Structure 1
Amino acid sequence: MKGIQEGNLLPQFEAKDQNGELFKLSSVLGKVLVIYFYPKDDTPGCTKQACFFRDQYEEFTDLGVEVIGISSDSVASHKKFADTYKLPFTLLADEGKKLRKLFGVPTNLLGLLPGRVTYIIDKQGMVQMVFDSMKAENHFPKVIEQVKRFL
């Protein structure tokens, strides 16, 4: 499965956020988006990644960038994760792994661990960067550098 590649238009999708509200991609089109898939709430690497986005959140919002985290955890798990770490951005529950399949996010570690992939989408909805690395820290400098290119 190829999935979403650089140069593709982002397909429309919807999912429940950490508050149980239906999130629709159409509600944030026209902004630069950072959409990141992560394996699991409240694990060391995923917490580090979420806290990176939390700590940089004001810089992102000042630039008009929307941050969205996605994993297959439940709405309740996302709510607890967001509350515990004071995450100010949207977390989407991909309980049926439909979004993971739509984006073509691979699994790692013999197919046991959901992959960690970050997508940068420009204001026109075009995917400008796909970065796949299980090491959470590898995503941080790439995201900041790429986002600033589109503003």
Structure 2
Amino acid sequence: MEADRMSVKVGELAPDFELVSNNGDMVKLSDFRGKNVILYFYPKDMTPGCTTEACDFRDYHKGFSELDTVILGISPDSLESHKKFIEKYELPFLLLVDDEHKVAELYDVWKLKKNFGKEYMGIERATFVINKEGMLVNEWRKVKVNGHVEEALKYIRENLS
């Protein structure tokens, strides 16, 4: 896979990728054709905002499933970190390891961040909705966690069910 600085655009085919998941299997986005996909990028396992977001996706998982929608979370964390995160919070969806941040770059969410005066590269929280044909149909960038998962579920219910 080559991250050639193309940026994803709503209304276009979502770029395919392959990453290892928390269960050790290689997963391709194209494996989920025929289902809607929530692809969400988050900065770090076990941090407060990321835990809240993951638990919100967990709590609304049944609603997404009923709308034939798969949830995939992506962060640069390790396989071991993802496993612990899933076990601790009983997350019923896959977390994918993007330790080289190639997919984050492909989706243009690998950004320069500032925290307490320090600058560093990291994930800018974002969610993408991909329909059953593999088209990117909606995106939220610079996501604020509170209410976001409900908004994503509402979008799918109103537009893709």
TM range, smaller chain = over 0.9
TM-score, normalisation: structure 2 = 0.87
Matches within 5 A, 1:7-46: 7-46=11-50
More deviation in 23-32 or 33-42?
23-32
Instruction: Please state whether the residue corresponding to 1:36 is helix, strand or coil.
Output: strand
Give distance in 1, aligned partners of 2:27 and 2:36: 17
1:44-94: CA deviation from partner (whole Å, max 9, x where unpaired):
000000000000111111111000000000111000000100001010000
Matches within 5 A, 1:1-151: 3-107=7-111, 109-110=113-114, 112=120, 113-148=122-157, 149-151=159-161
Instruction: Please state whether the residue corresponding to 2:60 is helix, strand or coil.
Output: helix
Identity, % of aligned pairs? 38
- Read off the aligned partner of 1:135 and give its amino acid letter: K
Give distance in 2, aligned partners of 1:103 and 1:63: 24
- Please state how far the C-alpha of 1:99 moved relative to its aligned partner: 0.5
The answer as to whether partners of 1:68 and 1:90 remain within 8 angstroms in 2 is yes
Query: Larger Cα Rg: Structure 1 or Structure 2?
Result: 2
The answer as to whether partners of 2:127 and 2:143 remain within 8 angstroms in 1 is no
TM-score, normalisation: structure 1 = 0.93
- Please state how far the C-alpha of 1:105 moved relative to its aligned partner: 1.1
The answer as to whether partners of 1:120 and 1:129 remain within 8 angstroms in 2 is yes
Give distance in 1, aligned partners of 2:70 and 2:54: 14
Structure 1 residues not aligned, in runs of 5+: none
Instruction: Please state whether the residue corresponding to 1:47 is helix, strand or coil.
Output: helix
- Read off the aligned partner of 1:17 and give its amino acid letter: S
The answer as to whether partners of 2:30 and 2:134 remain within 8 angstroms in 1 is no
Give the number of aligned pairs: 151
The answer as to whether partners of 2:63 and 2:153 remain within 8 angstroms in 1 is no
Give distance in 1, aligned partners of 2:113 and 2:143: 10
More deviation in 17-26 or 65-74?
17-26
More deviation in 44-53 or 121-130?
121-130
Structure 2 residues not aligned, in runs of 5+: none
RMSD: 1.5
Give 1 or 2: higher helix fraction: 1
